[in-house]
Amino acid sequence: MSAQNPLEKKLDRYYEDIIDKIMELIETQKNVLGEQKELKKDIAKLKEHVLETKTEFEQINAKLDNLTKLAKSGGGSGSSASYSSNSSSYGNKPATGGQPKSLKDFLATEAAIFDVKVLNAFIKSTKEIVKTNTRTEPTFLKPVVGENTNLKIVVAGRMNLSRDTGKGTMAFCMELESATAITRAVFMSPEDAKVSDADIKDVTSEICNQICGKSKLALKNEGYSFDIGIPEIHQGQPKDLLAVLGYPKISLFFAYEKKPFYVLFWG
């Protein structure tokens, strides 16, 4: 067999280079098509998230509208929107000056710094922060205003808030089951893992701080300027905690895997 001459060798190298380039182009095209498909999926998920967010805000506004209507009509017995005229067994005092005519009036007289936009911002921030920390999105259930609800909280992260319309306080509070489940999720522990009071305290403090920080940033775009304090953590039996905290003016009810937790406000 005759030896291949230099020209044939050179042509063979060119052919090999061309084939390598073609294979690179094919692989690049595959990657681009794959990225395009992933991008389309991300866009579809984003659209779905936007629609879900829009629906949630519509539901929140509808619930707040119902609260306003119930307030105007005097509220129904057992309703979550009623304004209790009885003092709480934990020392809550009824609203002074008679029952307000609307939710707006109630917020203005009883919790001046927490209007509807502020409450919506805290609802949205709470859901996002809990989801970020636990990788599971909680459910917002309802707002409760001026009602003596039995809150079985065992831990509370309380933080002072202030702006031009006054001063107030919020607290991120959990019942025993939600505190245990959320703390396990934050530390990525097994479902049967034990959690200590110190672990629950740390998680409560961090989530409380993050909720306030995120809400403050979101409300800044609406022209609100909030000053926030440092989380103050309380642990103990429900009766003892509510004796220290006082009964809230506004309660936002949430559920994490069907386990209740709350964001409470005092004006």
Q: How many domains does the chain have?
A: 1
What is the chain's Cα-based Rg? 28
In a domain, 173, yes or no: yes
User: Where is mean pLDDT largest: 9-23, 61-75, 238-252?
Assistant: 238-252
Percent of the chain with pLDDT over 70: 68
How far CA 267 is from CA of 85, 111, 198, 249, in Å, comes to 18, 4, 29, 7
- Between 255 and 36, the more confident residue is 255
In a domain, 12, yes or no: no
Do 71 and 102 meet the contact criterion of CB atoms below 8 Å apart? yes
In a domain, 158, yes or no: yes
Does residue 160 have a pLDDT over 90? yes
pLDDT in tens, 2-45: 566 777 777 777 777 788 778 888 777 777 777 777 777 667 66
The CATH number linked to 105 is: 3.40.1550.10
In a domain, 131, yes or no: yes
In a domain, 41, yes or no: no
User: Is the model's pTM score more than 0.95?
Assistant: no
Half-sphere exposure (Cβ direction) of 134: Cα atoms closer than 13 Å: 25
Domain span at 201: 71-266
Does residue 169 have a pLDDT over 80? yes
In a domain, 51, yes or no: no
